[in-house]
Amino acid sequence: AQTVTQSQPEMSVQEAETVTLSCTYDTSESDYYLFWYKQPPSRQMILVIRQEAYKQQNATENRFSVNFQKAAKSFSLKISDSQLGDAAMYFCAYNFNKFYFGSGTKLNVKP
């Protein structure tokens, strides 16, 4: 069964610093997709970054990048130059026809 584990319920980072959020998953599939979503208090899930499992190159989107280790089934998110607006719940998600979400990491950004 597919499961997604986020072992950090809450993290804090100083503004302008870098933070890494961890995620591991379990699957027997070889071709799938991984996502990081941000959920601010407005409740809407906002796509942060997407990784295709068959691509070895780690995805990047401006200040956001991932470290995808397929063999280890690890998919961490690095946020560089953290901004106050980055504060939110972050969910790691695995997708193979439907989403499986982790339990989330609450990110606090300190000014």
Residue ranges that bind another protein, judged by CB under 8 A: 4, 6, 33, 35, 37, 42-47, 50, 52, 91, 93, 95, 97-104
Q: What distance in Å separates the CA atoms of residue 67 and residue 44, rounded to the nearest whole number?
A: 25
Q: How far is the CB of 71 from another protein (least distance, A)?
A: 21
Which C-beta is closer to another protein: that of 28 or that of 111? 28
Q: How far is the CB of 65 from another protein (least distance, A)?
A: 17
Which C-beta is closer to another protein: that of 19 or that of 93? 93
Which C-beta is closer to another protein: that of 64 or that of 101? 101
Q: How far is CA 46 from each of CA 14, 90, 92, rounded to the nearest angstrom?
A: 22, 9, 12
Q: How many Cα atoms sit within 13 Å of 15 on the Cβ side?
A: 5
Q: Decide: 104 and 8 in contact? Cβ < 8 Å.
A: no
Q: How far is the CB of 31 from another protein (least distance, A)?
A: 10
